[in-house]
Amino acid sequence: MNNRNAGSVISRSINLLFGDENIARWETVKKIIRNPNSRIGLIMIGILTLVGIFAPFIAPYDPYQQVLTESLEPPGLSHLFGTDLYGRDVMSRVIHGAWIAVKICVIGVGIAFIVGNLAGALSGYYEGWIDTIIMRIVDSIMAFPFLVLVIAIMAIFGPGLKNLYFAIAIVSWCQYARIVRSRYLSEKEEDYVRAAEAVGFSDKRIIFGHLMPNSIAPTIVYASLDCALVILVAASLSFVGVGAQPPIPEWGAQIAEGRQLLQVGWWIATFPALGIMYTVIGFSLIGDGLRDMLEK
């Protein structure tokens, strides 16, 4: 058997085992990995996620343990990132803050992504009064500045991480709904949708089985960029005191604790700020890579 026949047999075997759709998805994944921006971003966020998951094993100290005799120690061999005003190890707190950043993205952006895609799908497919109601809700929410509305929601429900996830999701889903709606309005006029309707497929099958796979790509790109925005918003809210509350080792809260000690303890605010910068750059690179791939 020559190489060409062998390759053909292997290709047919893969098609039988995995199906054409799964192979197409794998090809898409390979394109994403080949893109230098998305590859670097995925590595950066992958490292961040692993650090967050294994924070209890990586962190050299308990992030909540106070040792007042070691207060405001500069970076050194015993404390690589130094200690804060209460003698807590800054490196341990930054490492545990990575897991909080990951959860903010997964929960806050994840809920907004799901709700926005469902709302946009219903609005774009059915139009009529359903579209009117959903879009008027979206317009009402988006009439307020993003950060101002999140702060207002936090003021109503109180500070804390759980309320922070909830507030971000409430405000963020609207943009996803608009993106998906516009895609559905154009995609549902395509021949494959009309053929599915002629065959007698249910609305559920057409919406989620045919339209959704062809409309979800822009929201995935937006979600990767939205994660960077959400990290900044969460840090900003914690900085002003309406997000995570001390002694939770959230990066924005750590910067707030160290802002008045910059002259005597610059490391307290600097290393959490570097963590925020690292995360934002990582998600931004992923978003840029996905956008470049879709434009080709």
Q: pLDDT per residue over 208-233, tens digit each?
A: 888 888 888 888 888 988 998 899 98
Task: Determine the pLDDT at residue 196.
Answer: 84
Task: Determine the pLDDT at residue 178.
Answer: 93
Output 56-60 pairs: Cβ under 8 A, ≥24 positions apart.
58/95, 59/89, 59/91, 59/92, 59/95, 59/96, 60/89, 60/91, 60/92
Task: Determine the pLDDT at residue 6.
Answer: 46
Tell me, yes or no, whether 30 and 157 share the same domain. no
Tell me, yes or no, whether 137 and 280 share the same domain. yes
Tell me, yes or no, whether 57 and 14 share the same domain. no
> Can you read off the two tokens belonging to residue 228?
């960077």
Tell me, yes or no, whether 62 and 159 share the same domain. yes
Total-model pTM = 0.82
Q: Which amino acid is at 44?
A: M
Task: Determine the pLDDT at residue 247.
Answer: 87
Q: Which amino acid is at 1?
A: M
Domain with residue 164: its CATH number is 1.10.3720.10
Tell me, yes or no, whether 108 and 251 share the same domain. yes
Radius of gyration of the chain (CA): 24
> Can you read off the two tokens belonging to residue 66?
């106070």
CA distance 235 to 256: 9
Structural domain including 8 reads 1-34
Tell me, yes or no, whether 207 and 129 share the same domain. yes
Tell me, yes or no, whether 29 and 168 share the same domain. no
Task: Determine the pLDDT at residue 61.
Answer: 93
Under the banding of pLDDT at 50, 70 and 90, the label for residue 46 is very high
Size (the chain), residues: 296
Tell me, yes or no, whether 86 and 28 share the same domain. no
pLDDT at 167 over 60: yes
Under the banding of pLDDT at 50, 70 and 90, the label for residue 18 is very low
> Can you read off the two tokens belonging to residue 114?
């799901």
**163 neighbors 154 (Cβ within 8 angstroms):** yes
Instruction: Using CB atoms within 10 Å of the CB of residue 268, give its burial: 0 to 12 exposed, 13 to 18 middle, 19+ buried.
Output: buried
CA distance 53 to 278: 17
**215 neighbors 278 (Cβ within 8 angstroms):** no
CA distance 189 to 183: 10
Percent of the chain having pLDDT more than 90? 38
Tell me, yes or no, whether 94 and 228 share the same domain. yes
> Can you read off the two tokens belonging to residue 179?
């993106």
Tell me, yes or no, whether 11 and 120 share the same domain. no
pLDDT at 281 over 80: yes
CA distance 140 to 158: 23
Would you tell me how many other CB atoms lie within 10 Å of the CB of residue 296? 6
Tell me, yes or no, whether 14 and 91 share the same domain. no
Tell me, yes or no, whether 10 and 128 share the same domain. no
